[in-house]
Every structure is written in C-alpha cells, then in structure tokens.
Structure 1
Amino acid sequence: MAADPAVPTLSIIVPVKDEEDGIAPFVARVAPILDGLLPARDWEILFIDDGSTDTTLPAIDLAHRAEPRVRGLSLSRNFGKEAALSAGLDHARGAAVVPMDVDLQDPPEVLGEMMAKWREGHEVVYGVRRNRRTDSLPKRLTADLYYRAHNYMSSDKIPEHAGDFRLLDRAVVDLIRRMPERNRFMKGMFAWGGFRQAAVEYDRARRTVGKTKFNYWKLWTLALDGITSASTWPLRVWSYIGVVIALLSFVYALYMIVRVVVLGSDVPGYPSLMVAVLFFGGLQLISLGVLGEYIGRILIETKQRPIYVIRHTIGIEEQG
C-alpha cells in the first residue's frame, strides 16, 4: 500500500486516440469499482491523449472537473500506443499501476482479483483471455501463430493471449522507466523484467464504444517490432540457410561432375537456370530486408530522441 497519503495506491493508465465518446462511460464504470476496492479512495485514472483530432481532450478535462482523481496528458502528436503507455508509466504515481483500454473490453471487475494477488506478493498480475470468441477467425489464427513464434524465437517468454491489461508493482514500473530503448514493445519489456508473476483469467467483451485503431497492417508492424526487439533469431537463421544451400550446391556440383564424366556434356536448360537465379535472388533480397529492419532500429536508437512529447496536462504537473 502507498505510505504517502498524496500517493495513490492504484493508478489506472488509459491511452486514448479519438475516443471522445468513451471517456465518460469509462469513468462512470471504473470509478465505483475503484471506490469499492479502495475505501480510502486513494486511486487515480490517468488518460494519455495520443494526438487525438476530435474532442477527446475536452472530454478528459470535463471528467477531471467532475472527478479530480481523473488526470490527463496530451501528447503533441500521435506517437503510438507503446509511447503513450510509456508516458503513462512515467507519470503514474500509484504503488500499483494497471494499463487499460478505454473500450472496456477488459472488464474492470477483474481489478479486485488482481489487487488480491498483488497483496499476496506478486509484482506482476496479468490478465489472460479464456477465449478469443470476440475476434474474427483470421485474427485468432494470426494471434496464436504470433505468440508461438515469439516464444520460440525469444528467451523473454510472453504469456499467450495476455495483452497490456495487467497490474504492475511500483518496482516493475520503475524498472521499465529505466529502459532507454526507443523501439518499444511493452509486452516484451514486461516479460524481460521477470519478478513474481500470476495470471487472472477473464472473458473479454465485445467493443461497444468507438472503433479499434489497430488494422492488420498495424498489428503486423507491432508483431515485427516485438520479434526484432526481443530476438536476433531472424538474423541468425540466414547463416543456417546459407550453410544448407552451400552444402546442397556442393552435392549438386559432385553430381554434375559424375554425370559429365559418365554420360558426357550436354547443354543446360534455360528454365532451370532462371529458376535458380530468381530463387537465390529472392533469398538475398529477403536477407537484406531482415538486415534493414535491424539497421533501421539501430538508426532510431542512435538519434536518442524523446519517446514522446507532452503538449498539455490536466490535473498534473509535467515531470522530467
């Protein structure tokens, strides 16, 4: 529990973009649950407006006027959800911090079970979906494939079907804040820290307010960021492919020598030559693309630019 009365026990951080219709329903549903969990009312809800173009920021300001424990940060542009989460972690004051989505698909009623496990001594309590019935079949298949691929290639295992909805102890938050990388994959960063972890299962509801900001391209980009930030396996695999191809080429060369000695020389076929050229050219382009992904991330890291820029605050003094 928080010892300083000015420091809340629990902080809820909520990244939002163009969610003007979701702010009031979120506060109306979550605030009574938090009041029931924390009789001292030592909680806060921190919205991070990630470059909204609608009236999301005025909606946050209106919620703050009605409930001072609702606070807000407005970023100077859309930096992405991972950067918005980082801003929330940097400014959350609670002894425990829970990232949540404003769409309420992750039920706030689960917070009670998370708090109970936290009080038992767990530093990370992550929510796990019992099923993905609310997702389309392609999304279910690709999500399952991604979790398996990530955990196969990376030593930092992430729980399958667990999103950003989780409770983080202040020790975990402080550790993540010390991580300097600009290419951020928060699930991987949560996993890297370790600590004592526990799972809470829940059923995810369908979205009823607003629209998702994640299309398949953004999900693919996030998956690519997750794999390249947590593993060098995509780089290493090309060494193995090169060795296999070299061995096959050597075997084929021996075959050709024996064939010429025994049967004599013949004119090689043009189609087979083109297939070989295009095949190996394609492999080279793929390997260059993988190298380019990592080099691009090195470039971003060397620039040392801020992860996010704050334009405006509501109920909070800007921190360094």
Structure 2
Amino acid sequence: MLTLVIPVYRNEGSLSDLISVIDQLNDQLQQNLEVVFVVDGSPDNCYEILRKDLPTRKFRSQLILLSRNFGSFMAIRTGFQFGNGDRFAVMAADLQEPPELINEMNTILMSQEVDVVVGVREGRDDPLLSRLASKAFWGLYRRYVVPEIPLGGVDMFACNKPFRDTLLTLEERHSSLIAQIFWLGFRRTTVQYKRQKRQHGKSAWTLRKKINYMMDSVFAFTDLPIRLLIRVGAAGSILAFLFGLIVVWAKLHGEITVPGYAVTILMITLLGSLNLMGLGIVGSYAWRTYENTKNRPLAIPMRVEQYGGLA
C-alpha cells in the first residue's frame, strides 16, 4: 500500500480539486492507497472541510490537526509517523506538482531496486524573480553544501519503508528535510517534471519563511561560514602584515607625518583580522559540539544479510 502524505496550510480553495485528484489516483492504484492529511495549524477552514468530506470518500485516509503551524517539513514527518503503508510519497496540497507523478514514483519503487525517488523540476510556471532567486539559491547550495541536490530543487519525493524509518531517526528541529534525504544516501533515482502554475489562493511561502529555510539548510549541513571566517581572517592577517611593512617603510622615509598614525593603522588591521580568524577557530570547535548534539548516526547500514556456512 502507498501512503500519500499531504501537508495542508491555507489551501481551502484547492481542497475540492485535490480530493477529486486523489479519487482518480485511488482508482489508478486499485484502492491500494492511504492518504494522510496533516493540517499544519491552518487558520482557514481546511480542517473542517476535510473532516466533513473524508468520511464520504472511498480511499483510506487519516486527518491530523497540529496544535499550531510547525512548518511543512514537520508536518511531513508527522504524516510519515502515522502512515501505515509499505511505500510513502509526499505531495503539496496546492497541486502545483503534477499528481500523476505520484503514480510514476510508486511504479518505480515497486519495479526497480531503489529506495527513494526524487522529483526534479525541469521547469516552473513561476514569476521571473522567483525563478531567478530559486535558481541562484539551489545553484549555490549544490556547489557549497550538498552537491547531489538537483539544480531546480526538490518538492516531491517517494520512498520505501526502510528509508522512511531511517529518516524518522533524524530528530532535528532546525534542519532541512530535503538535505536530510540526500545526506542519508541509499539507492536513489529521479523523475523529471514541470511545476504548474498555482490555480488557487496565494502561496504561504513568504520571504521570512524562505530566509529561515535558507539558514536552516546551510547551518545544519555545513561549516562553510566558519571556514570563510578563518580564511578571511588569515588572508587579512597576511595583508595586514604586508600593509604594516609599507607603513613602516613610509614612516622611516618621512612619508607619514601624523603622530600615531602608523601604530593605529597597524593595530586596527592586524587585530581586526586576528578577531575574524579567532572567531572562526572558536566556531570550528562549536560546530563540532553542535554536530555531536544532533545525534545523527555515524553510519547507516542499508542492508544486513547473514548466510550460513557450508557444511
């Protein structure tokens, strides 16, 4: 059975179309579908609408109401915890991702030796500025943080139960679910799709949420900012030393006549660079402490097989 997890937040306008799409998907899967709706503290009437509508539907369903808005990643994790299927998939309630992709990913999980299928956007019907910002973010993230992440980012994925179980062991609050998927490894494949234009309502993915997501995605998976501090501090110290030689030479040759100028400039440049490098070094130790507190497994056995010896 496939468990489809759908986080719901401010999606009141799209619920009717969403339910119709799920009815079709349930027929395609021959009623072998369970849908877990996780209402993520939505301020509209999503919960009331689903609570009234779901009992009349043929597909199996669960309706979970979170006490407040915890974010889509926490809602997905909650859906995974309550799901009863052998395979799991995630779909947004706004229907911007093609629903037929769920059936395709489910078929791949059943027919191929893979543990997770990732939907990769090959195009998107979004405003120009949104497309440019997304391309820049995922390009930098791919280059400096998680090289395996596709250039267009990831919004949909499906996985088998062993992958789901392992993913749920990573109990991190300020993190990125997408980056966790790639950090775990396992056997992975991708499917291409084009993101569709939003038909209902307005996106709840505000600028503040995007910035918070960017910070969580970076700080939870790389010490790059700390390493930049060390490198900038070291480079600044070298430049300060060279600049100091120039200032001393100028002072000895009478080019600098202002009293105390040479010492002041040398101290400012040198101490500023040493401060940056010192912060970077302290940050490196703090990063290692932070890594240990996350309690991520040191290694993940994907398969364990035992064989009896030949007589």
Smaller-chain TM-score range? 0.7 to 0.9
In 2, Cα distance between the equivalents of 1:193 and 1:265?
A: 60
1:140-219 to 2 correspondences below 5 Å: 140-155=131-146, 157-219=148-210
Aligned residue in 2 for 1:130: 122
In structure 1, give the amino acid aligned to 2:174.
Answer: N
Give the 3 Å change call, closer, same or farther, for CA 50–268 of structure 1 in structure 2: farther
8 A Cα contact 1:13 1:47, kept in partner? yes
CA spacing shift, 1:89–1:295, aligned 2, 3 Å: farther
Q: 1:54 maps to which residue?
A: 44
1:165 Cα deviation from its structure 2 partner: 0.6
Shift of 1:112: 2.7
In 2, Cα distance between equivalents of 1:26 and 1:264 = 77
How far apart, in 1, do the equivalents of 2:19 and 2:250 lie? 78
Cα distance per residue 1:6-32 (max 9 Å; x no partner): xxx111111111222222210111221
| Aligned residue-pair number | 284
Letter in 2 for 1:63: D
Mean Cα displacement is larger for which, 242-251 or 171-180?
A: 171-180
Q: Is the 8 A contact 1:156 1:188 kept in 2?
A: no
Residue equivalent to 2:63: 72
Task: From the superposition, tell whether residues 242 and 53 of structure 1 become closer, same or farther in structure 2 (CA, over 3 Å).
Answer: same
**What is the letter of the counterpart of residue 13 of structure 2?**
D
Q: Answer yes or no: is 1:241 the counterpart of 2:221.
A: no
Paired with 1:218 and 1:48, the residues of 2 have a C-alpha distance of 19
Shift in Å at residue 282 of structure 1? 12
**CA shift for structure 1 position 152:** 2.2
Partner of 1:45: 35
Is this contact kept in 1: 2:120–2:190, CA < 8 A?
A: yes
Give the equivalent residue in structure 2 for 1:33. Answer: 25
User: After the TM superposition, which residues 60-139 of structure 1 pair with which residues of structure 2 at under 5 Å, given as runs?
Assistant: 60-67=50-57, 69-118=60-109, 119-132=111-124, 134-139=125-130
**Alignment RMSD:** 3.2
Q: Where in structure 2 are there 5+ consecutive unaligned residues?
A: 296-311
Q: Relative to 1, partners in 2 of residues 1:109 and 1:242: Cα closer, same or farther, differing over 3 Å?
A: same
* Change in 2 beyond 3 A, CA 1:108/1:246: same
What amino acid is the match of 1:18? Answer: R
Unaligned runs of 5+ in 1: 1-8, 305-320
The answer to whether the 8 Å contact 2:237/2:274 transfers is no
Structure 1 consecutive aligned stretches of length 4 or more whose deviation exceeds 3 Å = 280-285, 301-304
Q: Which amino acid counterpart does residue 79 of structure 1 have in structure 2?
A: F
The change in CA–CA distance for 1:180 and 1:303 in structure 2 (over 3 A counts) is closer
**Bigger RCO (CA 8 Å, 6+ sep):** 1
Q: CA deviation at 1:129?
A: 1.4
- Which residue in the other structure is 1:315 paired with? none
Instruction: Check the 8 A contact 2:234/2:273 in 1, yes or no.
Output: no
Q: Distance in 2 between matches of 1:71 and 1:255?
A: 73
- Following superposition, the deviation at residue 100 of structure 1 comes to 0.8
Structure 2 counterpart of 1:16? 8
Q: Once the two structures are aligned, what percentage of the paired residues are identical?
A: 27
